[in-house]
């Protein structure tokens, strides 16, 4: 049976890759790198950089494949399911072109367990035995960059998306909320009084940006600096932690 290694690579700093990740990359026969189009080229290029530093002297082959584009016209869940089917087919086609490769690896942004679909996509290819090598998540990169703990003593926290925060408001039962996948600064939908924010973009990369403080005072600054950075780089990835002051 062929093995599929899902290797967490962290959030942009090649030094986020663990020793176990490097070892897995070096034992793989083939590493598949998705091409998402010119606007996301940095992420494919970064995967190539990680390969260049991890694979010196190894026999691992690197092959790029085109990542299918999601059809966003209809129902969200139906579109995502169809997209995952298409990605599984693209993985399968790329793997079939290399029948000699018994161990195939994908370099997964952050960790495969957090807001990532690679495990769900891999489940569509039952003839592959899946192994996960954990990576540093964007949430860990954020809390480390700000030198904060994610939870208060003995208290729970929630990790959610911008879409959920916008639609549902502050989640019940927690004072700490981490927000990912937010293209619209959904913290604007909240009453900022009594809330602190720790925001980070391009975490782990040379362009890293960090802003923190009372939401009421930092909201406008984050909006304007985020807009400017996105225009300069052509893309942005950001994450933030919100905490209600007791």
Ligand X SMILES: C[S@@+](CC[C@H](N)C(=O)[O-])C[C@H]1O[C@@H](n2cnc3c(N)ncnc32)[C@H](O)[C@@H]1O
Q: Is 35 helix (H, G, I), strand (E, B) or coil?
A: strand
Given candidates 17, 122, 180, 185, which one binds ligand X under the rule CB under 6 A?
180
Q: How many CB atoms sit inside 10 A of residue 48's CB?
A: 14
Q: How far is the CB of 179 from ligand X (least distance, A)?
A: 7
Print the binding letters for residues 129-158 with ligand X: x by CB under 6 A, - otherwise.
--------xx--------------------
Q: Beta strand 209-214 with 128-133: parallel, antiparallel or unpaired?
A: unpaired
Is residue 200 involved in binding ligand X (CB under 6 A)? yes
Among 12, 104, 197, 241, binds ligand X (CB under 6 A): 12
State how far the alpha carbon of 117 is from the alpha carbons of 112, 196, 226, in Å.
Answer: 7, 30, 26
Determine, following the binding rule CB under 6 A, whether residue 160 of this chain makes contact with ligand X.
no
239 binds ligand X (CB under 6 A): yes
Distances (CA, A) of 32 to 87, 93, 174: 12, 11, 40
Residue 181 within binding range of ligand X, rule CB under 6 A: yes
Report if residue 203 touches ligand X, rule: CB under 6 A. yes
Give the count of beta carbons closer than 10 Å to the beta carbon of residue 83.
Answer: 18
Nearest-angstrom CA–CA distance, 39 and 18: 28
Whether the Cβ atoms of residue 184 and residue 160 lie closer than 8 Å to each other: no
> How far apart, in whole angstroms, are the C-alpha atoms of residue 150 and residue 30?
36
Binding span for ligand X by CB under 6 A among 39-47, 113-121, 164-172, 211-219: 113-121
Query: Applying CB under 6 A, which of residues 5, 7, 11, 195 lies at the interface with ligand X?
Result: 11
Which one of 18-26, 57-65, 124-132, 236-244 is the stretch in contact with ligand X (CB under 6 A)? 236-244
Nearer to ligand X, 6 or 25 (CB): 6
Instruction: Please give the helix or strand (H or E) that residue 145 lies within, else none.
Output: helix 138-146
Does 111 bind ligand X (CB under 6 A)? Our answer is yes
The residues that touch ligand X, with contacts defined as CB under 6 A, are 11-12, 109-111, 114-116, 137-138, 180-181, 200-204, 237-239
């Amino acid at each position: 049976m062929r093995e599929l290694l899902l290797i967490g690579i962290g959030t942009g700093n090649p030094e986020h890759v663990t020793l176990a990740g490097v070892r897995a990359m070096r034992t793989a026969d083939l590493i598949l790198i998705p091409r998402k189009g010119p606007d996301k080229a940095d992420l494919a290029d970064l995967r190539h950089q990680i390969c260049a530093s991890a694979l010196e002297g190894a026999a691992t082959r690197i092959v790029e494949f085109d990542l299918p584009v999601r059809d966003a016209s209809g129902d969200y869940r139906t579109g995502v399911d169809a997209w995952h089917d298409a990605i599984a087919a693209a993985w399968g086609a790329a793997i079939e072109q290399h029948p000699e490769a018994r161990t195939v690896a994908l370099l997964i942004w952050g960790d495969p367990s957090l807001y990532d679909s690679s495990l769900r996509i891999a489940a569509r290819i039952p003839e592959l035995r899946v192994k996960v090598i954990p990576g540093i998540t964007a949430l860990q990169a954020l809390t480390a960059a700000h030198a904060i703990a994610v939870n208060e003593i003995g208290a729970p926290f929630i990790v959610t998306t911008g879409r959920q925060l916008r639609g549902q408001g502050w989640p019940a039962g927690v004072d700490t909320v981490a927000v990912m996948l937010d293209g619209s600064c959904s913290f604007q939908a909240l009453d900022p009084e009594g809330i602190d924010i720790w925001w980070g973009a391009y975490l782990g990369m040379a362009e890293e940006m960090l802003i923190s403080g009372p939401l009421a005072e930092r909201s406008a600054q984050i909006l304007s600096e985020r807009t400017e950075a996105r225009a300069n780089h052509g893309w942005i990835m950001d994450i933030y932690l919100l905490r209600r002051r007791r």
